[in-house]
Amino acid sequence: MGNKSSKNAIYVYITAIIILTVISVLMGIKGLGQEDGIRIRLLFMLIPAISVLMGYLARNIINILLKGQLANAFERMSVMVGWGFAIFLFLFLLPEADKMNTASFGVPFLVLIVTFNSCFYEFIKNNIIFSRVIKALLYFLQGFVLRQMIFVLWENGSWDIGVTISLGDMVLFGHIMLFAAALISILELSDYSIYKKIGEWFSRNTWLKFFVGCALVLYFKDIRVRINESYPELFVYVEWVGIFLILLIIFIGAFSKIRGERAPQFNERFGKHVQEIVYNKSYDGREISMFLDNYVSRGELSGMLTFLVGLAKERMIPDVEISRLIKPLTDFKGMEVPKVCYRGEYNYIMKMNMDERKKIIEVVIWNIKYYGRNNGYVYQNEY
């Protein structure tokens, strides 16, 4: 049935592509006698539409010929590339927009970067060191391309909105921060606790580092210089305000860390939920702890699944709803360990899988606990 619908879609896409191509050729020929005629007859809209249709056509052809995870990635890639090159062609053919036409040459590079991250990064992510080096290089390349595009669109890469903003340098330095964070996060695999904590910090809130990089350029290259030139008497006060804000951010981060460490741990939260919803006193606490440990540590599902299904039935939840409530548990597939990897990578993958299993258990137990209490039957977690 799926192949039949894909074949029908192929005929539709081919027909639409032929029609739009013929129209585009006729309009192009008609406009050749005029100055820039090929650009002024809506070709900047028709040709991108052909690119989009070709992307969907390629997806349906791949769907018929290939199957598997890599085939699914190629299907997504074909659509993304089709849309990406449509954006490039739209900007390149846009009439009376020379700067935009030139800047559009950066779009294909950005499309390839985004496509790789969205479609193919998952195939290398289990090789922690290699994948993070690749991610770092892609961050740098993306920042460089965006900076070049901005320098084409705005003179010297600066955006004047009453106050000059070094937009190009902000974007580049923000991506350099991402580049550095991706490389430093490899320390997360270290056996030394201090290096591990540094790596963990740089692996979290990645895009916060980007905005910090942008803010540093904005402050030191634009705001600070402007105030020093125009209002030198206020310069010292501005410096102290900057120092105060940095110290405030450090304090908030440290306070959040302390608060997180003092929060109830996973076993405490799970035990509390179980105590609140278990009616049958015949449940053995040690047995439940064993089920929990076996699932979280080793991914053994049978004991935990049996307990949760029994718990849901005890609360008179229908079988159909039980299957939906435990779906996150049964659908979860952790990161696979590569055939050969460093011990640090192995320990990291094991820890990530354990953390994900803990989150899933909390989601499932939360949904069983609050089933029917206007929670919309949506998988959610209050933590």
Scored b (16 or more CB within 10 A) or e, 349-375 reads beeebbeebbebbbbbbbbbbebeeee
Positions of the chain with pLDDT lower than 50, given as ranges: 1, 38, 263, 374-383
Structure tokens at 183: 């490389």
Residues 235-287 have pLDDT tens digits of: 777 777 777 877 877 777 666 665 555 545 555 566 555 655 555 555 566 77
Residue 379's pLDDT is 46
Residue 88's pLDDT is 94
Residue 240's pLDDT is 78
Listed in sequence order, the residues at least 6 apart from 185 whose beta carbon sits closer than 8 Å to its beta carbon are 132, 199, 200, 202, 203
> What phi and psi values does residue 322 have, to the nearest 5 degrees?
-60, -45
Residue 148's pLDDT is 93
Q: Taking CA 207 as the corner, what is the angle to CA 205 and CA 210, rounded to the nearest 5 degrees?
A: 125
Got the DSSP string for 286-298?
Answer: HHHHHHHHHHHHH
Is the overall model pTM greater than 0.85, yes or no? no
Residue 377's pLDDT is 46
Q: Helix crossing, 302-314 with 343-369: angle to 10°?
A: 10
